[in-house]
């Protein structure tokens, strides 16, 4: 879940990752059965294990794109079959580690220099360009709680893969809840966040005013206004207000609306938000290429 409420056992240790993941998935299945499904009887341990086994055997990825056609054509590695073979362990390619490789996605490198009369050639070339933009276009990462403040850096020059660093999957390889400002209350200021929020269809949600105490790691009586307290509802910490887990990017085309509050109807809005929020400076054509790549995942 976005706020991490079902992550009860840590998933950041490779030695305990598999057993802890099974525990968390089983707990989530139990809560979903008794809560969402409103079951009057809890599932048995065998039933919970069968649910977990099913979830662990499922891989979600786009197979066909309207503009690019089959996503495994001409040497590409799109689709769920390749995804099922992708290696993962906690901390793999951690963007805060010493061996981080920003070229996180390598699915469509074979489409970079296509010489073909194939009707999908233009679409495939756009996807390949979008993949390169994702890996290499610079972002000015500023005022992101959980990143800038933790590292003591007012500006971090990164890429999309800084936060989506798991190779060919797209989530962060370690648990890293962040606040990029989605739940902030819109203002009339001209900063990058205010401009970025203007790209979204912000829902009509209540505004919560939260007052922090010194016992919660914030100045006494400091007040924060937000439309979603985020992970702070779980931890009770002011430092966690507005923080959410980054989503896995696979199967993204079928996941609209986007962000935890559904503020973006389309991936075009998502990219427009990031372009403004992190001062990427992408042209209209580059944004279209990035959208086409995201649709292919």
- pLDDT tens-place string over residues 131-149: 999 999 999 999 999 999 9
- pLDDT tens digit sequence for 200-239: 998 888 999 998 876 555 556 788 899 999 999 988 888 8
Torsion, CA 247, CA 100, CA 174, CA 230, rounded to 10: -50
Closest CA to 89 of 14, 9, 7, 10: 14
Tell whether the model's pLDDT for residue 81 goes beyond 70.
yes
What mean pLDDT is predicted for residues 265-293?
98
What does the pLDDT look like over 9-57, one tens digit per residue? 888 888 998 999 999 999 999 999 999 899 999 999 999 999 999 999 9
Distance CA 88, CA 148 (A): 26
Query: Shortest CA distance to 70 belongs to which of 59, 83, 79?
Result: 79
**The predicted structure's pLDDT at residue 12:** 85
Confidence of residue 187 (pLDDT cuts 50, 70, 90): confident
pTM beyond 0.85: the answer is yes
d(CA 159, CA 138): 5
Q: Which residues pair with 243 in a beta bridge?
A: 230
Model pLDDT, residue 231: 93
What is the mean predicted confidence (pLDDT) over 50-69?
95
Domain ranges of the chain: 1-58, 62-175+246-295, 192-240
Q: What is the distance between the alpha carbons of residues 196 and 144, in angstroms, rounded to a whole number?
A: 14
Q: Kindly tell me if the per-residue pLDDT of 3 is higher than 80.
A: no
**Cα of 197 vs its chain's centroid, Å:** 17
Whether pLDDT at 266 is above 90? yes
């Amino acid at each position: 879940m976005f706020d991490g409420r079902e992550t009860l056992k840590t998933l950041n240790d490779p030695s305990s990752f598999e057993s802890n993941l099974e525990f968390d998935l089983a707990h989530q299945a139990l809560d979903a059965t008794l809560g969402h499904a409103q079951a009057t009887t809890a599932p048995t341990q065998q039933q919970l294990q069968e649910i977990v086994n099913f979830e662990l055997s499922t891989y979600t990825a786009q197979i066909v794109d309207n503009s690019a056609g089959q996503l495994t054509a001409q040497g590409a590695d799109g689709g769920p079959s390749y995804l099922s073979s992708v290696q993962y362990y906690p901390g793999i390619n951690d963007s805060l580690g010493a061996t981080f490789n920003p070229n996180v996605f390598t699915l469509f490198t074979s489409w970079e220099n296509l010489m073909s009369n194939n009707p999908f050639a233009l679409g495939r070339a756009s996807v390949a360009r979008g993949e390169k933009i994702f890996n290499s276009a610079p972002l000015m990462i500023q005022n992101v709680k959980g990143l800038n403040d933790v590292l003591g850096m007012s500006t971090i020059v990164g890429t999309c893969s800084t936060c989506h660093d798991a190779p060919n999957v797209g989530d962060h390889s370690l648990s890293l809840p962040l606040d990029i400002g989605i739940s902030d209350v819109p203002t009339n200021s001209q900063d990058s966040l205010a401009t970025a929020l203007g790209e979204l269809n912000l829902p009509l949600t209540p505004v919560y005013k939260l007052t922090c105490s010194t016992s919660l790691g914030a100045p006494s009586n400091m007040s924060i206004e937000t439309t979603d307290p985020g992970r702070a509802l779980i931890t009770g910490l002011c430092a966690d207000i507005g923080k959410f887990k980054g989503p896995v990017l696979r199967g993204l085309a079928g996941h609209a609306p986007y962000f935890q509050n559904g503020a973006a109807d389309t991936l075009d809005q998502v990219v427009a938000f990031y372009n403004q929020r992190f001062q990427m400076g992408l042209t209209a054509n580059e944004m279209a290429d990035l959208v086409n790549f995201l649709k292919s995942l």
